[in-house]
Amino acid sequence: MALWSRMLRTLLSGYGARRGGTCSWAFSSWRAHPPLAGPLSPTGLASHWTEVFKKRGIPEARESSEYIVAHVLGAKTFQTLRPGLRTQPLTPQQLQSVQELCSRRLQRMPVQYILGEWDFQGLCLKMAPPVFIPRPETEELVEWVLEEVARRPCAVQARGGPLVLDVGCGSGAVSLSLLSQLPESQVIAVDKGDAAVSLTCENARRLRLQDRIRVLPLDVTLGGSWTHLLSWGPVDLVVSNPPYVFHQDMEQLAPEIRSYEDPAALDGGEQGMDVITRILTLAPWLLKDSGSIFLEVDPRHPELVGSWLQSRPDLHLSLVAVRRDFCGRLRFLHIQRSGP
Ligand SMILES: C[S@@+](CC[C@H](N)C(=O)[O-])C[C@H]1O[C@@H](n2cnc3c(N)ncnc32)[C@H](O)[C@@H]1O
């Protein structure tokens, strides 16, 4: 996993908890920070904005200011700034850019949207609100899928490479990282959001992966909408990081999430299961006999999904493995076809 995406993990991973403050005070108070005195080096400027962010209660103050200063100077991280640059005063234009970007952070905009790009599995993806920002945990979902393909190539891989269905592709993070690491694979990526469909297409073109992906606007909860997926034949794998937040927990999400990301990317209904159960209901129609489903879920879901599957023996699906994320929470499910 890329270091710079790990560094901001606490803000967005697990969708973060609300940590004090609201957008309204941040909007009105950003101009009240102390004025900058004299020529400032990147180090001085990053420290200045770290203090401003801390005073305003902005989470991850140091990381936020360093990412922004580094971005304006053309680097990905502060640590990778050329040593000579770190002590050189910024130009008035650069100072102005830092000021503008930091004012967005004071409005609780996530750093990923401010920078307009973010790394996922070593790929640099364009980010644009309100399309969901890929989280570091999802890199672990991708790693599990890759492990499984490597471990059981015959079971999960068609001749020439697996055909994968990614439900809820967002920015294309899961689809494109699988394509880039499985050179023979092909992906069908679907999302109900037009902005997500466009961003996945754009990221596929930027990464020159567009020839092996089909991106479709599709709401899997709408009856019959999925039937034309069958025209590509059964798939080896269904992979999804679906909306799985319990509806009553939506209010507890951090301001960064509530104000900027599409609620449809997060809200999974009363028990966070609306899209999950839809995927599981459709999967037997879409999967090959030996096919597998890999899902990212809430820690309460392994038990809920296990019970739900037992109540639906007609689907012939079994929960075969559950994995923890880097925080030790049970977050990933492997479900297999187990019958006719
Ligand atoms: C949690 S985001 C995951 C995005 C991306 N896969 C990732 O991991 O970064 C869930 C995505 O599912 C999409 N989505 C939500 N409900 C859907 C539905 N009923 N049918 C298809 N896509 C849906 C959302 O628009 C959103 O892009």
- Between the CA of 36 and the centroid of ligand 1 the distance, in Å, is 42
- pLDDT tens-digit profile of 202-235? 999 999 999 999 999 999 999 777 788 888 889 9
**257 φ, ψ to 5°?**
-80, -50
pLDDT score recorded for residue 268:
98
pLDDT score recorded for residue 15:
59
Residues 6+ apart with CB under 8 A from 46: 62, 65, 66, 69, 78
Measured CA angle at 73 (ends 68, 74), to 5 deg: 95
The atom of ligand 1 lying closest to the CA of 278 is 19
- Between the CA of 88 and the centroid of ligand 1 the distance, in Å, is 43
pLDDT score recorded for residue 153:
67
- pLDDT tens-digit profile of 250-272? 999 999 999 999 999 999 999 99
In the chain, domain spans: 3-115, 122-337
Q: Which of 12, 118, 125, 132 to mutate to test the pocket of ligand 1 (most atoms within 8 A of CB)?
A: 132
pLDDT score recorded for residue 229:
85
**Residue closest by Cα to atom 7 of ligand 1:** 134
- Between the CA of 228 and the centroid of ligand 1 the distance, in Å, is 19
pLDDT score recorded for residue 27:
29
Confirm whether pTM is higher than 0.75: yes
How many CB atoms lie under 10 A from the CB of residue 148? 19
**Residue closest by Cα to atom 15 of ligand 1:** 265
Q: Of 242, 244, 248, 251, whose CA–CA distance to 294 is shortest?
A: 242
pLDDT score recorded for residue 35:
56
Ligand 1: residues with CB < 6 A are 132, 134, 138, 167-171, 173-174, 190-193, 196, 218-221, 241-243, 262, 264-265, 275
Residues of the chain with pLDDT under 50: 1-7, 9-11, 16-32
The atom of ligand 1 lying closest to the CA of 274 is 19
CATH homologous superfamily of 122-337:
Vaccinia Virus protein VP39 (3.40.50.150)
